[in-house]
Amino acid sequence: MMNDGSLPDWADIVVVGGGNAAFCAALAARESGASVLMLERAPQAEAGGNSRFTAGAIRCVYDGVADLQRLMPELTEAEIAKTDFGTYRQEQYFDDMGTVTEYRCDPDLVEILVIRSRETLLWMRSKGVRFQPMWGQQAFEVDGRFTFWGGLAIETMGGGPGLVDALSAAALKAGIDISYGARAVSLIADESGVQGLRVKRAGRGHNVRAGAVVLACGGFEANHEWRARYLGPGWDLAKVRGTRFNTGDGIRMALDIGAAPYGHWSGCHAVGWDRNAPEFGDLAVGDGFQKHSYPFAIMINADGERFVDEGADFRNYTYAKYGAVILRQPGQFAWQIFDAKVSHLLRDEYRIRQVTKVAADTLEELVQNLAGVKADRALETIKAFNAAVRLDIPFDPNIKDGRGTEGLAPAKSNWANTIDQPPFEAFAVTCGVTFTFGGLRIDTTGQVLDTDLEPMTGLYGAGELVGGLFYSNYPGGAGLMSGSVFGRLSGTSAAAHAISVPGAMMEKLIDLP
């Protein structure tokens, strides 16, 4: 039953958060027989956390088309016949997690993420979540055939909003209470463990006792002060891609009672984001402010210089770190420049109404229109790039084609095309923070550990506030997958603990002040 009234005094499980990880935790706990209360800080119109803002890409192990058909039985034979889905085996997932994090990721957590990815999506499907191939973002049509690349073939139907709607419907059906506009302020704990929370709702405080608490309320990306404190100078100037409510409350509450911080506290998922996007995410636009077709462009900063290898790897493996590179540029912005040869490859986000764009029929005119850029130097940079492109190597957007540059610094390793066919288009981007990588330390049951690395009785964690998975970078789609896997794990573990608490102890907890 949806709860928009007064808060109860007791629930077997209290889940803090209202996004993908929180719902997976709540559904798993309810499935185990526990009563569940979800506390969503946002009002219902803005509920869903960062999950509402995602495109819905989710990175899952699959050994072939048969696995994908189990997840997406709606796939037709015609679609299968014209598509090379490839495979994404466990060893590839392990390799990707190791490579992008420079092998700093926690091996025990990564093993759970990878091994349980497929079964978790099947479980989510059983709850009503639907999936589909990422036709528009992860496969290009070449000679009448689609080829998926980068180990990412699946997205949630309806993107982030569709995911949250499906999970909300599943929670309603399961009898899970959800209280919107309810901000968890502090954990109630003593030497025997966590026993509930102090909650603020409609300006009034209320204690909710619980057999266990699952924290699944995001990182600290929407907290300007924490970004500057932990990510470093200048990060308070970055845009926030998602919800304004992820200010680190769950992390703070746990640290206050002795939880262990873990992971890359000075790192985050940060992408190229429209320069004139609002301070926080806009639900009407969703992820449309992102600009992820840069592998087919060159990026130029305020000095008129290129500053990064736009084609170093598939977008999946570079986009989450290039936002930080853009933030380090003069003025914290850059321009992505395309010509007509690749305009058909641009993602839909380049065609939204709220876009910062200039276009011209000559390069001389284009560089004059790049606001904040040294035009003469930008023109020199484009001409030098054009002269360095390896025209003897065929261009192929579906593979790392090796079509790069020679004698240029920084080099472009793949997908280099001369910028010489009008009309020319340029898009202004800045840094957009998705989520922070530092958080709480959990064990392989989802239980939060204290600073002595001992389990904290009654406290579990899932989602973006779990540290140890991502360092410096991130493989696309792994965030939603980790939220789902560890949400389900923590909810199941929390329920097993809560249900083991004797009824007399529950009565005692309720009577405590």
Q: In this structure, what token pair is assigned to residue 84? A: 């090379």
Residue 140: per-residue pLDDT: 86
Q: What angle do CA 293, 96, 167 make, to 5 degrees?
A: 75
CA torsion, points 155, 160, 162, 165, in degrees to nearest 10?
140
Q: Interior CA angle at 403 toward 400 and 408, to 5°?
A: 120
Q: Where residue 6 falls among pLDDT bands split at 50, 70, 90?
A: confident
**Residue 87: how many other CB atoms lie within 10 Å:** 15
- What average pLDDT does range 183-211 have in this prediction? 96
**Residues 6 or more apart in contact with residue 83 via CB below 8 angstroms:** 133, 139, 145, 146, 147, 148
pLDDT of residue 507: 45
- pLDDT of 4: 45
Q: How confident is the model at residue 139 (pLDDT cuts 50, 70, 90)?
A: confident
pLDDT tens across 49-88, in order? 999 999 999 999 999 999 999 999 999 999 999 999 999 9
- pLDDT confidence of residue 502: 57
pLDDT value of residue 1:
38
**pLDDT the model gives residue 5:** 52
The pLDDT of residue 2 is above 90: no
Secondary structure of 35-56 in the HEC alphabet? Answer: CEEEEECCCHHHCCHHHHHCCC
pLDDT tens-digit profile of 308-347?
Answer: 999 999 999 999 999 999 999 999 999 999 999 999 999 9
Task: Give, for 487, the enclosing helix (H) or strand (E).
Answer: helix 478-500
Percent above pLDDT 90 for the chain: 93
Instruction: Report pLDDT for 506.
Output: 47
> What is the DSSP-derived secondary structure letter of residue 113?
H
